[in-house]
């Protein structure tokens, strides 16, 4: 087992990894930008190193600075968290070249599955259902290819995520303009303007399967997480089990995810994402070759520690549990992403100083956060400041527990999405479980029809 791990990230996920390391008797090394000098993850780690100025490109995305910190601290492994360099094959490769273990899949697996068009081709070869679309990247024959797929279509960036380089096209006359916009946005966000075309699935749910696999040919798939509540393709609320996934659909999704992991010779944890249609058919859309923001939902449902598992797999151990154990559902869990944003002002960022924090607690409540009283939320990074995770014996009681816990959370000094989450949980469509990925736009965004 490793003696020392460097966490190449910040905020709540850095804290999550530090805590896992402490429980395993592993020393932790934090890195921080000049803007994060007072962050809680810096205080909690055994060692901490400043890696550059506030802009992410000069700090958390600076692979050489991260590797230098790893060498100086004599860390044996690097945990990338999520975001930043977590799905960067070049960084994973650079770690290996420097004799440092990257806690995640191999560079080759990231390249196979992290690039959407190649992942889709591999899924097709493995017999995993895929959304009908172009066989590869679009070229000058884009109109012919789109017509073959059938409108409406989605133009999607081949690399990256988070809703960047994504355009819905219902009318063929709009295709060329939307294609150029998607290519431009993808180039700006990911340094890669490649796009492909997929059939647009009407009224889908976004459902994902957590996977874990080792270097000995073992792979397991966990119960699904339903990530349908989204705003502009950014997840807001995740829950498990899904109110619309039957045991039969779950088993088929899990088997599809396992087949893809084995076909890619994938090792460590990851997430296979699907669209689930109203008819019960599901389609592969992408793989996240890293730990997910919403991993605590799976931990709450199954009682298994995914970060601990990541570290053990990276150290060369076998999976510590089998498929039967991974499939166990003990609770219903809901996660709320609390962002420093103002929902009444089109979700504008709301950085600033939090004067005094009141955290929720009680039975079945978990809060993953790096904030504290007097903490100043910087303006340079993602607006996520906390993840509120609740779990209970069934969905109805989990919703009630969420409302109670959300009401207890107080962060005076900044605007947050707390009250927005309470509105979502009180909506009849959410309570009934009858909603799709357009739910938030339909009912809660400006100019929407209520």
Residues with a known catalytic role = 290
User: Collapsing DSSP states into helix, strand and coil, what is residue 434?
Assistant: coil
CA distance 240 to 301: 7
How many Cα neighbours within 13 Å face the side chain of 345?
8
Contacts of 415 (CB under 8 A, 6+ apart): 340, 341, 342, 343, 344, 345, 350
Of the candidates 364, 353, 373, the one whose C-alpha atom is nearest the C-alpha of residue 395 is 364
DSSP per-residue string spanning 189-250: HHS---EEEEEPPSS-EEEEEEEEE-TTS-EEEEEEEEEEEEETTEEEEEEES-TT--HHHH
Burial 393-405 (b: 16+ CB within 10 A, else e): eebeebbebbeeb
Tokens at 151, concatenated? 């409108």
Rounded distance, CA 252 to CA 127, Å?
12
**Which ranges of 394-448 does DSSP label H, i.e. alpha helix?**
395-408, 418-426, 428-432, 439-443
In this structure, are residues 45 and 73 in contact, taking their beta carbons and an 8 Å threshold? no
The neighbouring-strand residues paired with 31 are 49
Distance (Å, whole) CA 320 – CA 308? 10
| 17, 66, 290 from 84: Cα distances, Å | 15, 12, 11
- What is the Cα–Cα distance from 334 to 65, expressed in whole angstroms? 37
Contact 265, 109 (CB under 8 A): yes
3-class secondary-structure state, position 449: coil
Structure tokens at 135: 């066989």
Q: Are 105 and 289 in contact (CB under 8 A)?
A: yes
Cα distance between residue 187 and residue 158, in whole Å:
10
């Amino acid at each position: 087992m490793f003696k020392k791990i460097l966490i190449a990230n910040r905020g709540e996920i850095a804290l999550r990894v530090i805590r896992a390391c402490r429980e395993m008797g592993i020393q932790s090394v934090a890195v921080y930008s000049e803007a994060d000098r007072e962050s809680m993850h810096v205080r909690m780690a055994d060692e901490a190193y400043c890696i550059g100025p506030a802009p992410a490109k000069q700090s958390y995305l600076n692979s050489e600075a991260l590797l230098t910190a790893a060498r100086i601290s004599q860390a044996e492994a690097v945990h990338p968290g999520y975001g930043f360099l977590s799905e960067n094959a070049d960084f994973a490769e650079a770690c290996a070249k420097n004799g440092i273990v990257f806690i995640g899949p191999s560079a080759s697996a990231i390249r196979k599955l992290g690039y959407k068009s190649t992942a889709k081709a591999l899924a097709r070869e493995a017999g995993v259902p895929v959304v009908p679309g172009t066989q590869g990247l679009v070229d000058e024959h884009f109109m012919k290819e789109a017509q073959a797929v059938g409108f409406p279509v989605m133009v999607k960036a081949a690399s990256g995520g988070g809703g960047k380089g994504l355009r819905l096209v219902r009318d063929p006359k709009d295709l060329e303009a939307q294609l150029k916009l998607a290519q431009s946005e993808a180039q700006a966000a990911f340094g890669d303007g490649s796009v492909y075309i997929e059939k647009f699935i009407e009224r889908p749910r976004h459902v994902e399967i957590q996977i874990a696999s080792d270097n000995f040919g073992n792979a397991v798939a966990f119960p699904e997480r339903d990530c349908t509540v989204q705003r502009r393709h950014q997840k807001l609320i995740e829950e498990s089990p899904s109110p619309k996934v039957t045991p039969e659909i779950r088993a088929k999704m899990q088997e599809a995810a396992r087949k893809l992991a084995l076909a890619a010779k994938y090792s460590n944890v990851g997430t296979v994402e699907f669209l689930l249609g109203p008819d019960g058919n599901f389609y592969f859309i992408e793989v996240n070759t890293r730990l997910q923001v919403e991993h605590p939902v799976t931990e709450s449902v199954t009682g298994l520690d995914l970060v601990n598992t990541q570290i053990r797999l990276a150290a060369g151990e076998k999976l510590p549990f089998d498929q039967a154990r991974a499939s166990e559902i003990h609770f219903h869990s809901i996660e709320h992403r609390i962002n420093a944003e103002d929902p009444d002002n089109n979700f504008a960022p709301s950085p600033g100083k939090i004067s005094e924090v009141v955290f929720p607690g009680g039975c079945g409540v978990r809060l993953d956060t790096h904030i504290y009283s007097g903490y100043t939320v910087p303006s340079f990074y993602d607006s996520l400041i906390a993840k509120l995770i609740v779990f209970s014996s069934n969905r109805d009681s989990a919703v009630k527990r969420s409302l109670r816990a959300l009401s207890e959370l107080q962060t005076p000094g900044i605007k947050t999405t707390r009250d927005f989450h309470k509105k979502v949980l009180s909506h009849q469509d959410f309570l009934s479980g009858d909603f799709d990925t357009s739910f938030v736009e339909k009912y809660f965004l400006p100019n929407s029809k209520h």
